[in-house]
Structure 1
């Protein structure tokens, strides 16, 4: 079968579950991952014929997509802030909103232009996307990353090697931590923040495949991680150190109240590109 005919069939078979634009995007992601070909290459080679083994690979991926397994898990890779990351079921798939948080930190850190080496801690690192992106874009920073999951940290370590950066990884439960043991200039976290009452808003492919440990918190204490991390930040941030959070879009005011009650200064609540309250920055 030619690649053109297979493309049309692939999109048609997925459109009951995905809109045609998303199905087409999946096709070209697979094309690049499995054949190292881009959209323009196919435009010039519409009569390219897929071999039997290639067809088997494509059909296997198609069946996984029909089961609503995320394309990133199927391919085992995704892109974040211009870098490539391995992903698997032990880690969340990095989101565009988190790229905005990383960019905020990068831009603010470059503006400050500190002469001394800054120390950064990423709490709940998962795939390592925040810590590694910061290490790559702030080469003078010393970056640490903490997570409770050994599997997640193994993935994050691979990603640090893949992107040729040094990050010091720590396996630790933040909720059971009383002191971080050293001082930092920046603490950043994208902790679990989805309440169980919001499950109906979560897509099936996320609910069925991504780690719930990294997603959900109890309805009656949705800010448990933020409160704990903020308490530690009061001890372990340097004077005028900064605390960054990615937050639940519905709890922006609650986050402002929490940080104000804990005497953080200059707190800013920022919206993401979709207009949702998504991140905060505070100064100790």
Structure 2
């Protein structure tokens, strides 16, 4: 079967669920991953075909997409900050907004900023995307990462190996941690921050597939992780050390208030590419 013909069938089958543009983007993403073919290859070689076995593989993927399983989980990997990451149901799929947070940290810590090693801690590392991207891009960085889920840490460790960086991974429940035992120059976290009242805003493919442990907090204590991490930062962040968070877009003012109350300084709230309050910085 000609690939162009299957492409039309694939998009038609998914259009009612995702829309034509997203269905088409899935097709080309899978085409490149499975066959190392790009859109331009299909345009220039109109007679390219799929074998019967290849069509069987594509049909299985198509059925998974119809069940709204995220394409990143189906393929088993995704791209983040120019690096490749393995992803599975034990970890959240990295988001573009988190790339913006990583970019902020990297650009604030150029290779000329530190003449000695800089110690960075990522709390709630998941796939390891933040910690690994920082280890890859911040000169003289010694990077540590914490997660409560052993399965997530196993994925993060594999991602560190695949991206050829060294990260020290710790299995801890941060809410039950009272001292990090070391001093850090940067602490960063993208903790659970979606309130249960916001579940209706979450897409079905996320709600049904991604780990709720990494997503949701109780409505009456939405800042529980931020309070705890800020308390630890008061003890374990070096003087003038940097604290970065990805945050719930609806709780920007509350986050500023929390950090002010805890005597952090130089607090800066930033919006993401979609115009939502999404990340915050403070100095100890």
Q: Counterparts of 1:136-147 in structure 2 under 5 Å?
A: 136-147=136-147
Q: Which runs of 5+ in 1 are unaligned?
A: none
| Cα distance change of structure 1 residues 200 and 112 upon mapping to structure 2, 3 Å threshold | farther
Give per-residue Cα distances to partners, 1:136-159, cap 9 Å, x unaligned. 001410000000000000000000
Cross-structure match for 2:222: 222
CA distance in 2, matches of 1:138, 1:112: 10
Q: Which runs of 5+ in 2 are unaligned?
A: none
Q: Counterparts of 1:113-152 in structure 2 under 5 Å?
A: 113-152=113-152
Classify the secondary structure of the residue corresponding to 2:179.
coil
Classify the secondary structure of the residue corresponding to 1:15.
helix
CA distance in 1, matches of 2:60, 2:47: 22
Question: Greater CA deviation, 32-41 or 94-103?
Answer: 32-41
Classify the secondary structure of the residue corresponding to 2:160.
helix
Cross-structure match for 1:202: 202
CA distance in 1, matches of 2:64, 2:207: 15
Cross-structure match for 1:6: 6
Shift of 1:58: 0.3
Q: Counterparts of 1:37-52 in structure 2 under 5 Å?
A: 37-52=37-52
CA distance in 1, matches of 2:166, 2:282: 26
Shift of 1:46: 1.7
TM-score of the superposition, structure 2-length normalised?
0.99
Give per-residue Cα distances to partners, 1:214-273, cap 9 Å, x unaligned. 000000000000000000000000000010000000000000000000000000000001
Cross-structure match for 2:187: 187
List 4+ stretches of structure 1 deviating above 6 A. none
Classify the secondary structure of the residue corresponding to 1:91.
coil
CA distance in 1, matches of 2:79, 2:139: 20
Question: Greater CA deviation, 102-111 or 171-180?
Answer: 102-111
Classify the secondary structure of the residue corresponding to 1:42.
helix
Classify the secondary structure of the residue corresponding to 2:48.
coil
Cross-structure match for 1:18: 18
CA distance in 1, matches of 2:51, 2:76: 23
CA distance in 2, matches of 1:136, 1:270: 24
CA distance in 1, matches of 2:227, 2:20: 42
CA distance in 1, matches of 2:74, 2:211: 15
CA distance in 2, matches of 1:4, 1:32: 14
Paired residue total? 284
Classify the secondary structure of the residue corresponding to 2:68.
coil
- What is the Cα-based RMSD across aligned positions, in Å? 0.7
